[in-house]
Structure 1
Amino acid sequence: MKILMILTSHADFGASGRKTGFWMEEFAAPYYRFAEAGAEITLASPAGGQPPVDPASLGADFQSDDTRRFEKDEEAQTLLANTSKLTDVQASDFDAVFYPGGHGPLYDLTDNVASLALLTEFHTAAKPIGAVCHGVAALVKATTKNNEPIVAGLELTGFTDSEEAAVGATDLVPYSVEQGLQKAGGIFRSADDWADFAIRDGVLVTGQNPGSSDSTARLLLEALEG
């Protein structure tokens, strides 16, 4: 079982002066669920090398057993510091793909040609596609081999407009992921703000927020087993 995890390479939160990147819990929880299931994990990003971590995600309030495990895991840290370039990976080498969030993906994965091509190939081969929180930004413009949105008619979730407002980012983000998925034809579902909420519709698996990272990863593993 081989799983590709794609992280952002983008560190600047628009012109706000704030920093972003990937959200640590959204990487750590899926990484360890996949590893515990015996998966061979490959990490990739648009630029390759060390992806930027959102400094806010390192705050004491956002730590979990998985993030603390990562802090002591030199092997995982080395893997993260040396991600492959997206242009160097092939969908045919993997059984599933997963996108952690953080606000970074809004900037460098929504329109990323290599990422979009990979998603088309994964979809065509009916291989599971997973994303959590803002990682769903990678799905907004993803299309089938017939150039139709891959999310069209599917139930999915992601970081909600109300959660975006709660973190004071409504006026900072380049677009709303909730509205972007709806415009692409997705059937957007959500639970209360910050609730653990994940959906599987066929081979598409999505999670609402950082607290949904573990359950989203588990659903992706179910999709692989199915």
Structure 2
Amino acid sequence: MTKIAILCTSATTFGKSAEKKPTGVWLEEIAVPYYSMMEKKFSVDFFSIKGGEIPIDAGSRGEGFYTPECVKFDKDDTAQALMKTSKGLSELNVEEYDGVFLPGGHGCCTDFYQNQELAKTIEQFLTAKKAVALDCHAPIALLSCKKADGTTPLVSGMSVTGFSDEEEGHVGMQEEVPALIEKEMVAQGAKYSKAEGAWGAHAVVEGTLVTGQNPASSKVCVEKFVELLALTQTQVVN
């Protein structure tokens, strides 16, 4: 059976201001991938940076964001039990999983950013040729990842995406985030791309890495992730 780790932020606040902004994981970005994986009969374990209950950004339950999958997820006893009892990042053994999916949310700007333990875990999955997907703000973790030489930025020369600078401007958080994902990816030599219009669905595959741009990208991001899983597992069998 295909075994997947969903790895979320543990942060409840973020920002540079003295008065921190409330946050957490963006609900759609965990609900959509979770149900896609359940449909495929995958075995799914929930992880977070610290372990324990995973916080949800209240904004992701707001009008226009509270999708049918989100409503279903909130009423799903199994999903809610998983959300309350996540394992910590330190417990994530790369060898035990076929892939890892990292949902976004501004919480990632607090505990995914410059997290060397997380960067090492992502690097280990990729080195093992296992599928890795990061959506929306989760790709901020990639800014700390390196290629095999230990010095070159992982995203250098790679096709990637993540929450765009324009979208960050739309939500008024460009002065609060520790780094603008699009700007920093480009600075590290990445081939960054985005949807034609802000908030459009967009996901990119490079090797066994999938990156999604925003909440609307969660569906296409997990679809590409599932496709990669089938490909990588076939290669392992052969």
TM norm structure 2? 0.91
* Cα displacement (A) at 1:135: 0.8
* Correspondent of 2:193 among 156, 165, 189: 189
State the alpha-carbon separation in 2 of the partners of residues 24 and 146 from structure 1. 36
Distance 1:124 1:46 in 2: 21
Which 5+ residue runs of structure 2 have no aligned equivalent?
232-238
Corresponding residue number in structure 1 for 2:209: 204
Is 1:180 equivalent to 2:184 in the alignment? yes
Q: Deviations over 1:34-80 (max 9, x none)?
A: 11111111111111011211111111321112101102100000001
Partner of 1:135: 138
Q: Does 1:152 align with 2:166?
A: no
**One of 195, 208, 228 as aligned partner of 1:223:** 228
Contact 1:99–1:138 (CA under 8 A) maintained in structure 2:
no
Q: 2: CA distance between counterparts of 1:46 and 1:207?
A: 20
How far the C-alpha of 1:149 sits from its partner, in A, is 2.5
How do 1:46-195 and structure 2 match up within 5 A?
46-147=49-150, 148-191=152-195, 192-195=197-200
* Alpha-carbon distance, 1:144 to partner: 3.2
Could you tell me how far 1:186 is from its partner in structure 2? 1.6
Tell me the equivalent position of 2:40: 37
Q: Across the two proteins, how many residue pairs are aligned to each other?
A: 226
SS at match of 1:222: helix
Deviating beyond 3 angstroms after TM superposition, the runs of 4 or more aligned structure 1 residues are none
Preserved CA contact (<8 Å) 2:115 2:144: no
Normalised TM-score (structure 1): 0.96
Shift of 1:177: 0.8
Structure 1, residues 110-165: CA drift from partner, whole Å, max 9, x if none? 22232112112111111111011001111111123421332221111111000000
Secondary structure of the equivalent of 1:120?
Answer: helix
CA distance in 2, matches of 1:149, 1:31: 30
Percent identity between matched residues is 35
CA distance in 1, matches of 2:110, 2:230: 32
In the TM superposition, residue 85 of structure 1 has moved relative to its aligned partner by 0.6
